[in-house]
Structures are given as C-alpha cells and as structure tokens.
Amino acid sequence: MTVDYEQLGDVLYARLSGELDEHTASSVRASLDNLIEVKHFRCLVLDFKDVDFMDSTGVGMVLGRFKKLKKSGKSLLLKRPNSQVLKVFKSCGLLEILETEI
C-alpha cells in the first residue's frame, strides 16, 4: 500500500494504492496522521481508485481519520471507490456518515 499526496489550495488529496487491510492499515494511518499534523488544509480527499482490496481494519482507519479531522473542523471526502471497496463502505454504514464521490 502506498500513499501519494498533493495539495491544491486548501484541499489535500491522498491517493491510496494497493490493499488496505490489517497488514497495511497502521502504516497508512501513520502517513495520513503525519499529513494531517503538518499540512494546512480544509478538506482531505482520500482517493480509493487504485485500492484493490479493503477490509474492516481499513474501515477503522478511515473512521479514525474522520473523527480526528472533525475535531479540528476539517472534512473528509472518500473518492472513486471501486465496487469491492464501495460494498465495504455500504455494509458498514460509512456512506451514511461520510461524504463519498463515486
């Protein structure tokens, strides 16, 4: 799993690539938390286009970043999940609480 980022104005884009599961979630969490702490932005966009697989550990990582951002008045947008990732989002109710752009 890799995390590449780009900041355009007050929006921070993080492109995730690979599998987001129990083996990779902690490193992704650390990467995103570092970006959240050092970058100045209004919205974090997590781009899931190149995420091949995601499990409940990945859901926990996403939800944790959402809570962290919300506490500091920032927003989170989930973007371009594939059908497998979208199914995970739907089954655990993330689509009801997080903004998603398909």
Q: List helix spans (H) across 4-100.
A: 25-38, 56-71, 83-91, 94-97
Q: Is 37 exposed, middle or buried (0-12, 13-18, 19+ CB in 10 A)?
A: exposed
pLDDT band at 29 (very low <50, low <70, confident <90, very high): very high
pTM: 0.94
- CATH number of the 2-101 domain: 3.30.750.24
Which residue's structure tokens are 């944790």?
64
Domain ranges of the chain: 2-101
What's the token pair of residue 102? 């398909």
Residue pLDDT, tens place only, 47-90: 999 999 999 999 999 999 999 999 999 999 999 999 999 999 99
Q: Report how far residue 52's alpha carbon sits from residue 85's, in angstroms, rounded to the nearest whole number.
A: 8
